[in-house]
A and B are shown apart, each in its own frame.
Chain A
Amino acid sequence: MWIEEVSRALLYERGNTFLHRLDPRVKLAYIAVSALMMFLTENPVSLLALLVLHVLLAGLGGLASKVLSLLKGLALFIITIMALNTVLTYFFSFIDPLSLALAFYGMVVRAVVVLAMFTIFVSTTSPHELTQALMRLGLSRGYAYSMVVAFRFIPIIFAEMRDIYDAQRSRGLELEKGSPLGRIRKLAPIIIPSIVCALLRSKDIAESMESRAFGACEKRTFYRPIRVRVLDAVFITAVLLLQVLCVYPDIVFRIAGVG
Chain B
Amino acid sequence: MRACPGEVVTTESLVVFEDVWYQYPSGITALRGISLEFRRGELVAIVGANGSGKTTLIKHLNGLLKPSRGRVLVFGVDTRKSNVARLARHVGLVFQNPLNQFFADTVWDEVAFALKNFEGRVNSEKILGVLRELGIDHLKDRSPFEASLGEQKRVALASILVYEPEILALDEPTAGLDYRSKMTLLSILLKLRREGRTVILVSHDLEFIARARIDRLIVLSEGKVVFDGNPREAFYNPELLVASCLIPPQIPRLFIRLGLDGSSTPLNEEEAYVDLRKLGVGVHVDRGG
A residues sitting closer than 8 Å to B (CB atoms) are 4-5, 8, 160, 163-164, 166-174, 188-189, 191-193, 196-197, 200
Q: Bound state CA distance, A191 and B102, in angstroms?
A: 10
Q: Bound state CA distance, A171 and B59, in angstroms?
A: 13
- A191 (CB) vs chain B CBs: closest residue: B103
- B26 (CB) vs chain A CBs: closest residue: A8
- Which A residues touch B102, using CB under 8 A? 192-193, 196
- Which B residues touch A196, using CB under 8 A? 99, 102, 145
- A172 (CB) vs chain B CBs: closest residue: B117
In contact, A169 and B88 (Cβ under 8 angstroms): yes
Interface membership of B273, Cβ < 8 A: no
In contact, B101 and A168 (Cβ under 8 angstroms): yes
In contact, B103 and A171 (Cβ under 8 angstroms): no
- A1 (CB) vs chain B CBs: closest residue: B25
- Which A residues touch B117, using CB under 8 A? 171-174
In contact, B93 and A188 (Cβ under 8 angstroms): no
> A174 touches which one: B85, B99, B163 (CB < 8 A)?
B85
- Which B residues touch A172, using CB under 8 A? 85, 88-89, 113-114, 117-118, 163
Taking the closest CB of chain A, its distance from the CB of B275, in whole angstroms, is 41
Chain B, interface size category, equals: 20 to 34
Contacts A4-B25, A163-B95 hold; do A171 and B160 have CB atoms under 8 A apart? yes
- Which B residues touch A192, using CB under 8 A? 102-103
Taking the closest CB of chain B, its distance from the CB of A257, in whole angstroms, is 51
- Identify 19 new A-B residue pairs, CB closer than 8 A, beyond the known A8-B25, A169-B85: A4-B25, A163-B100, A166-B95, A167-B93, A167-B95, A168-B101, A169-B88, A170-B88, A171-B88, A171-B114, A171-B159, A172-B118, A172-B163, A174-B117, A189-B101, A192-B103, A193-B100, A193-B102, A196-B145
- Which A residues touch B84, using CB under 8 A? 169-170
- Which B residues touch A168, using CB under 8 A? 101
- Which A residues touch B95, using CB under 8 A? 163, 166-167, 170
Interface membership of B62, Cβ < 8 A: yes
Q: Among residues 81 to 112 in chain B, which have CB atoms less than 8 Å away from a CB atom of chain A?
A: 84-85, 88-89, 92-93, 95, 97, 99-103
In contact, A200 and B99 (Cβ under 8 angstroms): yes
- Which B residues touch A170, using CB under 8 A? 62, 64, 84, 88, 92-93, 95, 160
Taking the closest CB of chain A, its distance from the CB of B13, in whole angstroms, is 22
The 9 A-B pairs with the shortest beta carbon distances in the complex, nearest first, are A172-B117, A192-B103, A171-B114, A167-B101, A170-B93, A169-B84, A189-B103, A164-B100, A172-B118
- A192 (CB) vs chain B CBs: closest residue: B103
Q: Among residues 45 to 76 in chain B, which have CB atoms less than 8 Å away from a CB atom of chain A?
A: 59, 62, 64
- Which B residues touch A163, using CB under 8 A? 95, 97, 100
